[in-house]
Amino acid sequence: MLNMSEHSDRNIEVHKFYNGAIFAVCVLALVFQAFLHKYGRWSELIDLPLLVTIYFGFSRRNPISGMFLGGVIGIAQDALSHDNPIGMYGIAKTIVGYTASSIGGRIDTEHPVSRFGLIFVFFHFHQAILVITQRVLLNHSARFFSWQQLVDSLVTAAFGVLLFALLDRLRRSS
């Protein structure tokens, strides 16, 4: 007789990375995000720390580690940026990291089309968290949507698909 509980459990692959790869990728993303804006508007189209948070959340599939990684990246981005008070990106990326890790085990995150769609959705989710946090905590009026955000989300999603393919090469074979 077959045990149905054995067949109902899905084998969720949690990806392992080379030693120091996650730390190095996070530092590079933060450095590029902090210093490339001096070279033109094009670098502001892409949120590298957000992409790194999403990628490692999908790959690790552990909500606690995704939340922790998102929080650390967000606080570091707050410290390097002069646009927002400390904690704004920390709050948003903590929630994104937790959610991406939770979804990573339930949805196919390996296909480029699903990656594009998920990055697009997470970009707007991140922006909504930032706007809500600014309105509630800082009493600042902020817009939920602009055409520039739509362009930014499309560019970020397209770049994210390429970046995720490169980051896949940092995985250790099991």
The two tokens of residue 83 are 């646009």
Burial label for 36, CB within 10 Å (0-12, 13-18, 19+), is: middle
Element (DSSP H or E) covering residue 155: helix 147-167
pLDDT number for residue 42: 67
Residue 8 lies in a domain: no
Residue 92 lies in a domain: yes
Residue 78 lies in a domain: yes
Q: Does residue 45 have a pLDDT over 50?
A: yes
The two tokens of residue 45 are 């189209």
pLDDT number for residue 115: 96
Residue 95 lies in a domain: yes
Number of domains in the chain: 1
Domain of 25, CATH number, reads 1.10.1760
pLDDT number for residue 69: 96
Query: What band does 26 get if pLDDT is binned at 50, 70 and 90?
Result: very high
Query: Are the C-beta atoms of residues 57 and 96 closer than 8 Å to each other?
Result: yes
Residue 3 lies in a domain: no
Residue 1 lies in a domain: no
Report the C-alpha gap between 69 and 21 in whole angstroms.
Answer: 13
The residue segments making up the domain with residue 64 are 17-170
CA angle (161 as vertex; 156, 167 as ends), nearest 5? 110
Residue 85 lies in a domain: yes
Encode pLDDT of 78-94 as tens digits. Answer: 998 877 788 999 999 99
What's the mean per-residue pLDDT of the chain?
A: 87
